[in-house]
Structure formats: structure tokens, C-alpha cells
Amino acid sequence: MISYILFLCLLAEVIQWWEFLGGICIYSLIKLIFSKKQYDHLEYNFYNTKMEYSDNFLNREEKVIEYKYVREIEISQTFLERLFRIGTIIIFTNASSNYQNYERNHSSMKGRNGIYIHCVDDIYEQYKKIKQIIDENR
């Protein structure tokens, strides 16, 4: 992040300020479009004995968790998420994999030892529903 900011400062010295701001706007717009496409292709399905996570956007990524392996369910909200009444539901398991570190950002929907469901509306109601489904079917 620091190197990115330093690069932008150096770039601002070379080009005009309006070109600099235009570049930032274009970058932000492209990032927003890709984030929207990412969310459009996410799928979380809850069944009697398991839940499935699927992402079919640029890369195909799937994960299945049987309820008997769920260790804990947690809600997480940043200050901004609380203002917009959204949040993240984290479903932890005992399994873990070494190839992916914990990331809280939205580019990683799949967690190291569980599944992270980002930007959930009505977070507390959805949390209760998910917890009830998992508890009833363990």
C-alpha cells in the first residue's frame, strides 16, 4: 500500500493533477465493476447436512462444509459496515489449509479455515437463520 501511494505521488509530479485524478477515477471504476461481477457470481447454498460456497467469475472456486465440522459461527462488522447495517458472517471449521492466509478483504470470500460471507444485509437476522440451520442439522 505504501509503495502504491509513493508511486502515485511520483506520478503526480510527472503529470498534471487533473490527469492524475482522472486516472484514479478510471481505476476506481474498473475496480468497482470487477467487484460487482465478483459478487454477482458468488453463491452460498445451505442443505440438510452441508453448505456450499461457489465462485464462478474469473477463476472457479468451490468449497463444501459439512455441518458436523462447523466449530463456530461469528459476526464481524467494521465501523463503516455498522453504519450501512451490513456485516460479515464467518463460519469456522477445524480444518485449515496452509496455502491461503487469513484475509478480511472482500477479494477473498473463502477463508483459511472456514467461509466468510461478506456484505450481509440484516446481519443479525441472517446470523440467527444460519446458526439455526447448522445447529438443527449437526
Q: What is the pTM of this model?
A: 0.66
| pLDDT tens, position by position, 90-138 | 999 876 544 444 444 444 544 567 788 888 999 999 999 999 999 988 7
The residues near 137 (Cβ < 8 Å, ≥ 6 apart) are 48, 49, 67
Same domain, 107 and 57: yes
Pairing of strands 70-76, 60-66: unpaired
Share of the chain above pLDDT 70, in %: 75
Same domain, 52 and 14: no
27 vs 101: which has the higher pLDDT: 27
- Domain of 66: which CATH number? 2.30.29
Per DSSP, what are the bridge partners of residue 120?
A: 87
Give me the number of domains the chain comprises. 2
**pLDDT range class, residue 73, cuts 50, 70, 90:** very high
Same domain, 51 and 101: yes
17 vs 118: which has the higher pLDDT: 118
Same domain, 60 and 113: yes
15 vs 100: which has the higher pLDDT: 15
Per DSSP, what are the bridge partners of residue 111?
A: 114
Of 3-12, 33-42, 71-80, 91-100, highest mean pLDDT: 71-80
- The pLDDT value given to residue 25: 86
Same domain, 112 and 76: yes
Same domain, 31 and 69: no
Same domain, 10 and 66: no
Please give the Cα distance from 135 to 128 (Å, whole number).
10
Same domain, 9 and 63: no
User: What's the average model confidence in pLDDT over 13-35?
Assistant: 79
Which domain range does residue 109 map to?
43-136
